[in-house]
Amino acid sequence: MEFLTPPADHPARDRVRAWLREHPHPTPRQLAESGYVAPHWPAPYGLDADPMSQLAIDAELRAAQVAMPENPIAIGWAGPTILAGGTEAQRERYLRPLLAAEEIWCQLFSEPGHGSDLANLSTRAVRDGEHYVVNGQKLWTSDAHVAHLGILIVRTDPDAPKHRGISYLICPMDTPGITIRPVYDMTGTFYLNEVFFDDVRIPAENLVGEENKGWRLAKVTLGNERVSLSGEGALWGHGPSAADLLAKVRAANLDLDPLLRQELAKVWIEGEVLRLIRLRTVTAAVQGRPPGPEASIRKALSDEHGQHIMNLVRDLAGSHGLVKGHDPFGSDDAKTWDHGFCFAPALTIGGGTAQVQRNIIAEQVLGMPRELDVEKGMTWSEARSAVLAAQR
């Protein structure tokens, strides 16, 4: 297919260049107020930019080496959810500081004991006058120890069906009753945390959307999360890519045996497939078409691809791959590869496990039934026949 990219004379390019002449070293607040942090957002927080304009803006800012504000959970997940369901007062209060990275956000969704069954919440919130009183525990909360605010889902109606009776709150992380404990990972550091709520009083004005109807907004957050976790780098959009690895191997002039050459070719092919899927998604957006299944498929593929890259670097290191601090390319990137290899197992867990992603693809893309009817003794052949019949 023909991929669409912004032409060199796209008018958005001239506007960005003119703005950069006036702001050669823009601050995060200036970038936020210009609309360039999230140009596709509606004004006044964005520019109502169409996909082609957004691509042109991003290209010009990258070419100028402009450092964008770093606040991934806020800009990628919390902001779009507040835009979708928040009040005008909430948008005015939170979005501008969020875009400027003046207030860091975290996501308080996952809980211990429930695995990927996110809607099976134990954390409760009870309305008490002008506050919600929250009790419970959250787990795997990235950056909770440095966050100013968090997006929090709680159960407000314990008698409602699982996906109902859930509410979506904005939680100030310095509220009395919140305890944060680090969760160290294989890299030897931590950015994940467990968070405890003991009679935490959150103002009722921090409710996003309607009480007991927060699952719809939680799905908005999760949808943006899975797109955000599928960037170019091997580690959820960060770090080296397959192309970077190939360039390293060529520069080091490594003498590879046929098996390692084959593995290197495989990860490069995977990287190209993912790049082309991304271009298909971008092209669909430019043409005003829904992205289709590519976004879900890309999330599932890119996680395993990141693990393949890091495993291959370990193999390239040979016996030295068993110890920390060795770079098979003879450069100073040992820390990058050590961290990447230890972090890579998390890729197929965070943002929806690989198994959950495949279930989503099976049900929403392939039209397969949610599960076999074991009580009625339904076989896979019968399930396939049922799917085919439903598609006729």
Q: Give the contacts of 377 (CB within 8 A, at least 6 positions apart).
A: none
Residue burial 142-166, b: 16+ Cβ < 10 Å; e: rest: bbbbebebbbbbbbbeeeeeeeebb
Range 242-254 average pLDDT: 89
Residue 215 has pLDDT above 50, yes or no: yes
**Helix H or strand E encompassing 170:** strand 166-172
pLDDT of 29: 97
Is residue 296 scored above 80 in pLDDT?
no
Burial class (CB in 10 A: 0-12, 13-18, 19+), 360: middle
Average pLDDT over all residues of the chain: 85
Q: Is the pLDDT of residue 310 over 80?
A: yes
Task: Place 286 in a pLDDT band, splitting at 50, 70 and 90.
Answer: low
pLDDT of residue 34: 96
CA-based max dimension of the chain: 71
Write the CB contacts of 391 (distance below 8 Å, at least 6 apart in sequence): 367
Which SS3 state, helix, strand or coil, does residue 45 take? Answer: coil
Interatomic CA distance for residues 86 and 79, integer angstroms: 9
- Residue 230's pLDDT band, with cuts at 50, 70 and 90, is very low
Backbone dihedral region of 306: left (phi > 0), alpha (psi from -120 to 50 degrees) or beta? alpha
Catalytic pick from 103, 111, 225, 270?
225
Give the range among 156-160, 191-195, 289-293, 353-357 with minimum mean pLDDT.
289-293
* Two structure tokens written together for 172: 């100030």
For residues 128 and 146, the answer to whether their CB atoms sit within 8 Å is: no
Is it the case that residue 292 has pLDDT exceeding 80?
A: no
Per-residue pLDDT tens for 165-183?
A: 999 999 999 999 999 999 9
Q: Which of 80, 95, 30 is nearest to 228 (CA)?
A: 80
Q: Is pLDDT at 114 greater than 50 in this prediction?
A: yes
Question: What mean pLDDT comes out for the span 47-60?
Answer: 88
Whether 95 and 239 have beta carbons less than 8 Å apart is answered as no
Mean of the pLDDT values across residues 253-279?
89
Annotated catalytic residue 225: yes
Answer whether the bond into residue 44 is a cis peptide, omega within 30°.
Answer: yes
Position 352 pLDDT exceeds 80: no
CB 153 within 8 A of CB 171: no
Q: State how beta strands 207-208 and 166-172 pair.
A: antiparallel
How many residues comprise the chain? 392
Q: Which residue ranges form the domains of the chain, and what is each CATH number? A: 11-68 (no CATH), 103-212 (2.40.110.10), 229-352 (1.20.140.10)
Residue 202: strand pairing partners:
132
Secondary structure class of 131 (helix, strand, coil): strand
| Residue 385 scores a pLDDT above 70 | no
Residue 161: its pLDDT value, please? 87
When pLDDT is cut at 50, 70 and 90, the band that residue 228 belongs to is very low
pLDDT in tens, 136-148: 999 989 999 999 9
